[in-house]
Amino acid sequence: MMPRYKKITDLLRENGVHFILLDCDGNVDELLPLWIESGINGIFPLEVAAGMDPLNLGKKYGKNLFLTEGIDKRELSKGRTEIDRQVEIVKERIKDGGYFVQGDHHLPEDISYDTIVYFMMRITLYCEYINRFPRFVFFSRKVP
């Protein structure tokens, strides 16, 4: 696996690709050092239910590993208090950079549009995205 990944990642970097993400469901802690050595510098989804932790991975790999997801999707449907708690957990990881926050894997159908908007707004407010990234665009009601 590694020699083939390395060949592909070298080719991509020679052609200006800087972020090479691998789709890897489940707990992949043991594979991460091999993938990083092979030139892969990002993973998704970061599944909390499988034991993946964006805070620990950030401490261990720093800027060598770009992370996406990492918010427990099962908790998002429980309401605003739980959303605030989930975002607060990853707040410092976001400030460190190299982390794109979203619910791990696909969001379940029981999460309403208003709940998703609230989640995105909390990320924006708590994590100072406004000054570092383009604003999120929503096509419906404002969230108080």
| pLDDT at position 142 over 70 | no
pLDDT in tens, 66-87: 888 888 888 888 989 999 998 8
Could you tell me if 87 and 128 are in contact, meaning their C-beta atoms sit under 8 angstroms apart?
A: no
Give the CA dihedral 31, 104, 12, 36, nearest 10 degrees: -20
pLDDT in tens, 20-71: 989 888 999 999 999 999 999 998 888 888 999 888 998 899 888 888 888 8
| Confidence (pLDDT) at 143 | 39
Closest by Cα among 122, 107, 113, 120 to 141: 113
2-131: CATH number: 3.20.20.210
Stated pTM of the model = 0.75
Alpha helices in 52-140 (DSSP H): 54-61, 73-76, 80-96, 113-127
